[in-house]
Amino acid sequence: MPLSDSRLDQYVVDGRRAEIQSHVDSLLDTMTLEEKAGQLNQRSVHFVTGTEDEGEELESAVADGEVGSLLNATDLETKRHLQELAVEESRLGIPLLIGFDVIHGYETIFPIPLAQAASWNPDLAERAERIAATEAAAAGHNWTFAPMVDVSRDPRWGRVMEGAGESPVLGSAFARARVRGFQGDDLSDPDTVLACAKHFAAYGAVEGGREYNTVDVSETALRERHLPPFEASVEAGVGSLMNAFNVHERIPASGNESPLNDVLKGEWDFSGVLVSDWASFREQIQHGTAENRRDAARKAIQAGSEIDMASEVVIDELPDLVRDGEVSEDRLDDAVRRVLTVKGLLGLFEDPYRYFDEERRDETMLADKHRQAAREAARESFVLLQNEDDRLPLDPEADVALIGALADSGEDTLGAWSFEGRPEDAITIRDGLEAFLDREVPFTPGYELPGDVTEESIEAAVETATDADVAAAVVGETAEITGEAASRTEIDLPGEQRRLVEALVETDTPVVAVLMNGRPLAIDWLAESVPAILDVWHPGVEGGPAVAETLFGEHVPAGHLPMSFPYSVGQVPLAHDRLPTGRPGDDGESAYATGYIDAPNEPLFAFGHGESYTDFAYTDLTLSTAAIESGETLEATVTVENVGDVAGRDVVQFYVRDLVGSRSRPVKELLDFETVDLDAGETAAVTVTIEDVDLAFWTVDREWAAEPGAFDIMVGHAADDIVHTQRLELLD
C-alpha cells in the first residue's frame, strides 16, 4: 500500500512522504532475494536466558545484510556497533530496527499497565509512554514491543498485568493513548519509537489462563471482545503488530490468513509491519500445521506475516521458496516494503545514528520530571477496595507499624517486565512512609518472599503491631509470579501470608491492608477480616511516596477496577459483560438457574469498583432524545455531586444493554466513561455523546451493525452499582 494511503501518514511531516516512497522503491529494485529475506529476519543479541549470541556470527550476518532488525540488545555500544555494520559494511547500507520490550517504562518505571488502566485516564498512559519512548530512544532503541492490548477476564493468566483488563471499550481507549505516547507527533523525531500492538489476536483467552496455551473463541467473541483494541491501535496509526502464540480456529496466528490478510490488512487497511512473537513462525511445526521449517516459512509469509523473530526460518527458506514459485516475489516485496517504510518513517535513512547519544541518555534517564510523572501515575492507579468505618486515611501523628516483606522490596515495587529498571532506584513503601512522616517507622518483614512464614516471623510481626496505634500489612504478589510464564491456579495471597494477617487481626491493633499485585486476587477472607484495603498494584519507581501520600490523606484515591476480583478462582473467567443465559435466576427464587451452590455469581469487587475518602451522588440522568435514527447522535447527561468533606475525582461510568438482538446480548456493557474532579459540595454535569455505532455488535448476518430496537442506557459507580437507567429507541 502506498504510504499516502496509510494511517501511518499522521506520523509523517509534510514533504517526506514522496521521498521515503522513492527511496524504498529504489532499494527494492536493487535487492537480491537474500537481501530481501534479510530485512524480514530479526535476531536476538541476547537470548532470554541471558546467554549471548555468538558475536562473530551475528556481526557477519549483519554485515552481509542478512539481518533487518534486532531485539534484546541492552548495551549502547553494542547497538551502535551493529548499526555501523549494517550501514557501513552491508552492500546496501540499510539501517537496523532495534526493538525492546518497554512495557511500563524504560528506566523510569511506571505502574504496571493494568494499574494504569485502573486510573481510567488514558492521558496518563499517553504521558507515561511519551516518557518511556524518550528514554528508550536515548538508549538506542527505535522500536518497542508494546502496547499489549489483549482483553482478558482470566486472572490466572500472568500477563493480565500487561493489559487494560476485561473491557474492549476501556482497552481501546488505552490502546490509542499508548500508541500516541510511543509514536509522538512525528516518528522522525529522535525521541519517538515505533509502537507494536500485541498479541494478534485473542491471546487473552488462553484456556485455563495457561501461558502459550490454545484459544478457542467464536467469531462473535473475537469480533466483539478481542479485536476492538487492535482496530483502535490501527486507527491510531500503530506502526507494527505482533502475532500471538495461540491458534484461532486451530490455525496458528502467525500463519492464519483470515485475521491477517482479510481483517487486518483488508478490512482495516493496516499498512504497517507484522512481526512474529518469539519463534512463533517455527512453532507452527509444534502446533502440527507445518511439516518443516520450509513449510512454516511459506505459511507465515503467505498468510500476511512479515518479520520473523528469532526462528530464522524466513532467512533460511524464503529465497528458495520464491525461486521455486511457492511464494510470489510480489508478496515478498510487499513485506519488505512495509519494513523499509517504517525505517523511513523513523528517519533512519537520513540519520541511522540518531538514537545513539550518550549525552542525551545521561540527561534523560530518571529525570526529575519523569519521576514526578511516575509518582502521579502511581497515585492515580490506586484502588481503595473497601474502607469500612473510614479507617483510612491514617493520622500522621499515629504510631504506625509496617508489616510485610513486600514493603521493603525495590524489585517488587517495580513489578514484572521492568527490564532496565533498577531495584535500587525504586522508593519502596517503607522508604516512602519514613520520608513522608520524617521518622523511622517500626518494620517487620513477617514473611519471606513470596510468602513463607515461621513462628518466629509471625511473633515478631505481632510484637511490632501490638506496640503501635495501627498496623499497615503489605501483602500480595512478588513481581516474579506475575507477567509472562507466570500463570497461577490459585490466585489468593501467596504462601502463608494469610496466616500472618490472621495473627495481626487477632491483636487489639487496628489493621489496614496494602495490596501489591499484578492481577486480580481472590481475597474474600481478607475482605471479611480487614476493614480497609488499598490496592496499589506494582506501583513503579515512585511507588513508596505515592502510597504514603494516599495512606495519610494527602492524596484521595480515585482508581476503579479495570478487571473484576473474584470470590474464588472457581468463578473465573469472570466479567461484567456476561450473557444472561436462558435461566438467569434474577428473581432469586428458582434453584434451577445458572449459578453455584457455594458462591455467588457476582464478583467480590466488580469491574469499575473503587471507593474514595469522599462520596459522590448521581441525579437526573437525561437523554437529549428518547429515539434516534441511524447516523444520528444523542447526549446522555448525569449530574454528579461531591457530597463528602474533601475534594476528589470520580469515574462516571455509562453502560448499555441491547434488550433484543439477533444474537444474545450482554446484561450490560461499558459504553463510555468520564472522569470529573470536584471540590467538597461541588456539582457538575457529565455528558457523553452516543452514536448508533456505539450500539453496534456482530450480528447474525456477520456484520458490525446496530439493530433497531430498545436499549437501556445506565450510569453508575461500578458495573454492580447502577444508579439510573433511561430507555433509548433506535429507529428502523
Residue 484's SS3 state is coil
Q: What is the grid cell recorded at 182? A: 510511543
Q: What is the grid cell recorded at 504? A: 495481626
In DSSP terms, which residues pair with 675 in a beta bridge?
Answer: 651
Q: What is the grid cell recorded at 508? A: 487489639
Distances (CA, A) of 151 to 201, 240, 361, 588: 10, 18, 34, 31
- Segment holding 386, helix H or strand E: strand 383-387
Q: Per the residue annotation, which of 154, 277, 431, 658 is the catalytic one?
A: 277
Q: What is the grid cell recorded at 199? A: 498479541
Could you tell me how many helices (H) and strands (E) the chain has, helices first? 22, 26
Active site residue 277: yes
List % helix, strand, coil for the chain (3-state, nearest 5): 35, 20, 45
| 167 vs 84: CA distance, rounded Å | 44
Cross-sheet strand order for the sheet of 308-309: 143-144, 97-100, 69-71, 41-44, 308-309
Q: Whats the size of the chain, residue-wise? A: 732
Peptide bond into 393 cis (omega under 30): yes
| 615 vs 120: CA distance, rounded Å | 18
Among the listed residues 419, 414, 484, the one whose alpha carbon sits nearest the alpha carbon of residue 159: 484
Among the listed residues 668, 577, 656, the one whose alpha carbon sits nearest the alpha carbon of residue 152: 577
| 624 vs 628: CA distance, rounded Å | 10
- Segment holding 657, helix H or strand E: strand 648-658
| DSSP letters for 115-162 | HHHTTT-HHHHHHHHHHHHHHHHHBT--EE---B------TTSGGGGG
Active-site residue set: 277
